[in-house]
């Protein structure tokens, strides 16, 4: 498992997420962000707005995912 933070996935905080792949981490991050969104956390609301803009372009989203995969591949397993 590798550790990546919410912020490293484009989120609004530095909570650690542990996952075997960037896709799994992104899913965890999305669930975390939804919880924070329900709490009306400003940092997460702002981050969600940025991600919404990114997701409006398939090319930009694909590039972002490839960047996150490359970043994740270079992380050292934590557990």
Reduced to 3 states, what is the DSSP secondary structure of residue 68?
helix
- Looking at the DSSP bridge assignments, the partners of residue 2 are 19, 77
Confidence (pTM): 0.82
pLDDT surpasses 70 at 79: no
Q: Is residue 50 within 8 Å of 10, Cβ to Cβ?
A: yes
pLDDT tens digit sequence for 19-77: 998 889 989 998 999 899 899 999 999 998 998 898 899 999 999 989 999 998 888 88
Q: How many CA atoms lie within 13 A of 42 on its CB side?
A: 0
């Amino acid at each position: 498992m590798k550790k990546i933070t919410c912020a490293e996935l484009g989120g609004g905080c530095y909570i650690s997420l542990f996952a075997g792949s960037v896709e799994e981490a992104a899913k965890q991050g999305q669930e975390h962000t939804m919880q924070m969104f329900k709490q009306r956390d400003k940092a997460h609301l702002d981050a969600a707005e940025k991600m919404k803009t990114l997701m409006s372009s398939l090319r930009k989203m694909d590039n972002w995912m490839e960047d996150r995969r490359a970043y994740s591949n270079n992380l050292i397993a934590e557990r």
